[in-house]
Chains A and B, each alone.
Chain A
Amino acid sequence: MTVLARRTRPGHTVALSISGAVLAAIALAAIAPDLLATHDPLLTDVRSALQPPSSAHWFGTDQSGRDVYSRVVFGAGRSVGIGLLATGLALFVGVIAGSLSAVSPRGVDAAAMRVVDVLSAFPEFLVALLVVAVLGPGPTNIAVAVTIAAVPVYIRLARAQTRSLAATEHVEAARIIGVPALVVHLRHVLPGVLGAVSVLATIGIGTSILAAAGLSFLGLGPTEPTAEWGLMLSAGRNLLLQAPWVAVFPGLAITATVVSVSVIGRIVRARSEERGA
């Protein structure tokens, strides 16, 4: 084995393919749930309520006789979607606010950073809860809440990247040959900032999915009978003794998703650090 080949750790390939497979399945469930589901996720059938996992109902049935497996499949789009939306928004807002702050007059920049400081003094989940308190519950609002909770980190990173890139020689050179400031920023600074912040985002997706699921577990997100993992867990909470499968499988789905996203996020980060070094 050559020195170069050894740099990619053997565990990486295995971890990468398993995580990739899990995420592919979840993506399929999110895009075309009908292909994977065996039942209608909303179809109630009181006669077959609370049945344990079987060949007819792979993950069992819930208190209304709905098929838990099909509900987990249909929940993928909403549960993962809210986390993705929140991360995407945080990336977008973070890059704009961070790079604007970096090029603003010093007073504005300092004031903006103090606001970010105060915001990041609070634990993320609490910030998300408080935003829901202001906006009211609902799926869109919890996505916004998770965005606001996550955004300070993105703003800080985007600001730091903008400042350090603005001081590099090729940006300096572009400015000297008379390229307008806006063009310099868009063509030479912004792409670099986006790269760094995207790496952070791949790691942040997992956290956002967890936070969104937590809010909907508390009853602040989508409402019954929507199939959503956090909400399903909350319904299964009172059935632990008779029917633990109602809560176990949606939870497993969340964990499997977040583990896979984190594994891929870490590999992405490791690769980008290697490239940077």
Chain B
Amino acid sequence: MFEKVLIANRGEIALRVIRACRELGIRTLAIYSEADVDSLHVQLADESICIGAPPSSESYLKIDRIMSAAEVGDVDAIHPGYGFLAENAHFAEVCESCNIHFIGPPARAMRAMGDKNLARQFARKAGVPVTPGSDGVVTEETEALKVAKKVGYPVMIKAVAGGGGRGMRVAHNDASFLPAFHAARMEADKAFGNSDVYIEKLIINPHHIEFQIVADKHGHVVHLGERDCSIQRRNQKVIEECPSPLMTDGLRKKMGHASVKLAQSVGYQNAGTMEFLVDNSGHFYFMEMNTRIQVEHTITEEVYGCDLVKEQIRIAAGERLSPHVARASPRLHAIQCRINAEDPAKNFQSSPGRIAFYYAPGGRGIRVDSHAYTGYVVPPYYDSLIAKLIAVGASRRSTIDRMRRALDEYYITGIKTTVGFHGAIMRSMEFREGKYDTGFVERLMNSDKFELIATPGRLHE
């Protein structure tokens, strides 16, 4: 087992990794930018090293400085978290060449599935259904237009190196196709340094269902069921739940089997997630694979009774899949609300700044993964996620009621957050009935009944 791990990330996930390491008796080294000197993960790590100026490009993405810190700190392994360098195959290779374990999949598996177009090809080869679309990257206008017509409108133009909902455009007809094509390429080039795009049929208001994969270095691959991530705003996940309200035992078996088969076919190791789109007739289509631990790994942990980050560390250290993970089955229901430092009343514009007062909910069945605290200054340089609020219960109904209760006691003042927005979702009939799809958030916000729920009580005055 490792003696010391460097956490190449920040915010709540850095804290998550530090917690897993501490429970395993592993020493932790945090790296941070000048903007994160007062961050909780830096305070709680055994050691910390400042690696650069606030912008990510000057710090969290600086491979050379991270490796220097790893050398100076004499670490055995690096956990990349999610985002930043988590799916950077070159970074994984640099780690290995420095004899430092990368806590994640091998570089070649990352490359195979990281390129969304290549991943689709692997899926086809493994007999997993994929959304109808182009055979590969489309670079040229006339070719692109031909594919779009063949696939049939509406279509989605997607960046091969994309993520987080960026580098994507929708086109409903020939007239809007070319501008969308060029816009997607430009955005992809700017955001990911790679303008390659492919074309997919757009399934109207699909359900986004993903499967958690865990694989050790000895060839054992299992799936830990699904998460429903259909509640999205501008292609960014807002709420996740496990199990999915529309899953049946039969569909779970089919999709789980497809996920495991695909992971095996690329020699995948460690934790990963297969993302699918599911239409209303129960047809599922492979969309892409995330070759990292995800923000919403938490709800799988609560429902299946496991610690996925600890399992990642164990797998990286060469251990076989823990028996309780290999044999895991769903026992409960869990929902996660992503609390962002954004103002829902002002089109979700970022709301960085000092948290004047912070009180997180507690009580039975509540889990809070957050690096926030009273007096913490949310920096403007990074993503706006400040907390993950998870409710666990015996049934979906009781879990929703518990989440609603928890949101109503969540105090975050001084900045604007999406707590009130989640409160509105928990009260929505469509959500409570479990009949939502990816069009849900837009419908909710456009409805007359939509109202942000203010946290009641005078605790913060």
Asked whether A and B interact, the reply is no
Q: Write the residues of chain B forming the contact surface with A, with a CB cutoff of 8 angstroms.
A: none
- A interface residue numbers (CB < 8 A to B): none
